[in-house]
Structure 1
Amino acid sequence: MILVVDDTPANIDIIIEILGDIDEVAVALDGEDALDILSEESPDLVLLDIMMPGIDGYEVCRRMKENPDWKNIPVIFLSGNDQAAEKEKGMALGAVDYLIKPIDPALVIEKVKTYLPS
């Protein structure tokens, strides 16, 4: 299962359309929802927006990497911010990748297939 976390429903719809039949998808509209889903489910991969109200994506990733049950779940950040410092921050927190919005569907599929456990 892939957990998609984004506060913009249109972005979630695009990602679900891109993922097609790759895997089951769960959706969270903010960081709090994401943490709730993580406590109930065990996704194989998380696609995580950064800029969200309340708990942002960086904090969700930090909490995931501190939790023994979640620390090995790959995180791919999705962000409209293409500054190198932001990407470095995401990678330092333990993300496996950082993709810039608007997202390239072929790149998303490639990255998901790379990091989704087989």
Structure 2
Amino acid sequence: MKKTILIVDDSESLRQVVNIALSGAGFQVLEARDGVEGLAKLDGSKVHLIISDVNMPNMNGIDFVKQVKTLPKYKFTPIIMLTTETQEYLMEESRKAGAKAWMVKPFKPDQMLQAVSKILSC
């Protein structure tokens, strides 16, 4: 069975790049434009990993992570923050909210696949 990954990012081109890399590696990919849409995609079906941007309209990534962690079915779903932000306080805030990892854009698809494999293998 394919593992499902949800990408939450307001950049369509970034979602496409991530989707192509993950689909090519055999994952099923869901996409959302922001935290509000991301939460709507968490409808009870199994999601193995979430990749989220920090800066998005409607609901930013850190608020999204906090919301996800209140949902019993997704409380333990690992979340990678994928962002242009490099500020230490934002990394700390996302860690406190429940994010597992932090990747800075631009990224190489194979770097991301390594991070995804590492998180999903444990």
> CA shift at 1:117, angstroms?
5.1
> CA shift at 1:60, angstroms?
0.9
Moved runs in structure 1, 4+ residues, more than 3 A?
Answer: none
CA distance in 2, matches of 1:16, 1:36: 19
Deviations 1:77-113 (A, max 9, x none): 0110111111111111111101001112222011110
CA distance in 2, matches of 1:33, 1:117: 27
SS of structure 2 residue aligned to 1:2: strand
Deviations 1:40-75 (A, max 9, x none): 432100000111101111111001112211111000
SS of structure 2 residue aligned to 1:50: coil
CA RMSD of aligned residues (A): 1.4
| TM-score, structure 1 as length reference | 0.93
Q: Does 1:45 align with 2:49?
A: yes
CA contact (8 A) 1:4 1:48 kept: yes
CA distance in 2, matches of 1:108, 1:22: 14
Identity of aligned residues (%): 28
Q: Which runs of 5 or more residues in structure 2 are unaligned?
A: none
Q: 1:89-108 residue pairs with structure 2 within 5 A? A: 89-108=93-112
CA contact (8 A) 1:44 1:117 kept: no
SS of structure 2 residue aligned to 1:26: strand
Letter in 2 for 1:38: L
Per the alignment, residue 2 of structure 1 pairs with 5
Per the alignment, residue 62 of structure 1 pairs with 66
Q: Which runs of 5 or more residues in structure 1 are unaligned?
A: none
